A and B are shown apart, each in its own frame.
Chain A
Amino acid sequence: MTVRIGVITFPGSLDDRDAQRAVRIAGAEPVALWHGSHDLEGVDALVLPGGFSYGDYLRSGAIAALSPIMTEVKDAADKGMPILGICNGFQMLVEAHLLPGGLIRNDHQHFVRRDQKLTVENADTAWTSAFEKGQEIVIPLKNGEGGYIAAGETLDRLEGEGLVAFRYAGVNPNGSLRDIAGLTNERGNVVGLMPHPEHATEPGFGPDTPHAMRSGVDGLGFFASAIAAVASVAA
């Protein structure tokens, strides 16, 4: 069976085509979905891609989180479908209350773009099972409003329940509290992060590695995990 992974395009999405490409490289079939529709077209998993939906008016991801298709996205999340929010997509998941907390302007006030080292903190989610807990990966990061914040008791709960999926390693690029780069929900099907796994899936186009320039493909594990999660449910 070919796993079908939907990628939702919002007005202002930038990385929807890259996400589709990453899905294809990982061995699944990408399905282009539209924010204004109420139809998930029977996909097995979903990606909310990066960009600047609705010009990031009001707050990053806030208006996109109220899009027609988000009714179906929330429904699918409740039913356990693997859903990944990347960058602006992470901001949408937070604004839709599928993940807790908020994302604010980087503490140093600059847009940042770098190949970012992350520590995988939770390898038991639908999007991280291809990794080992504690594994370090490098994928590109590019954002202006990536500072993760939440109330102190929320942060303690996230840590206590193992819901921090990724932490920035080496450098905290945006002032995120407790170096949080990405989160999972309790069930492990909804994951959001600021860095971009879809940009590290094909040799020649990823981050540099000690072995060769632009050879980093650490982002593939995200999509491979989701494919495995869907296959295990189907089996």
Chain B
Amino acid sequence: MPTIVVDVMPKAELLDPQGKAVSGAFARLGIDAFTQVRIGKRFELTVDGEVDDRVLAEARRVAEEVLSNSVIEDVVGVEVAE
């Protein structure tokens, strides 16, 4: 069955305390290749049948209205998984 993947990230200008905590763990492990970690969310929406324009529009709508809060997050992707 086809799956639509929705990716949501905290807004770039906001402090991401979760990412910061992971960065701290990297530092303790001596990993210095990465200057920043940001944690977002991935949603997989399973579709029973074909992904047509109506289904995609519905996915974009729930991405904006339910899966993310535009005050603190951005929807960075609504894609059909291959």
Contacts and interface: CB of A to CB of B under 8 A. Distances in A.
Contact of B71 (A66, A101, A108): A101
Given A102-B72, A104-B72, A149-B72, A58 B17 contact: no
A149 B71 contact: yes
B21 A66 contact: no
B20 A59 contact: no
A109 B21 contact: yes
B67 A58 contact: yes
Interface string A132-172: 00000000000000000111000000000000000000000
Nearest to A154: B71
B66 A109 contact: no
Interface residues of A, number: 19
Interface string A38-76: 000000000000000000001100100010000000000
A102 B72 CA distance: 7
A11 to B, nearest CB: 18
B14 interface: yes
B17 A106 contact: yes
Nearest to B70: A102
A35 interface: no
Interface in A111-149: 149
B17 A109 contact: yes
Contacts of B72: 59, 102, 104, 149
A52 B6 CA distance: 25
Contacts of A95: 69
A108 B18 CA distance: 10
Nearest to A59: B69
A107 interface: yes
Interface in B1-39: 10, 14-15, 17-18, 20-21
Interface of B: 10, 14-15, 17-18, 20-21, 66-67, 69, 71-72
Interface of A: 58-59, 62, 66, 94-95, 100-102, 104-109, 149-151, 175
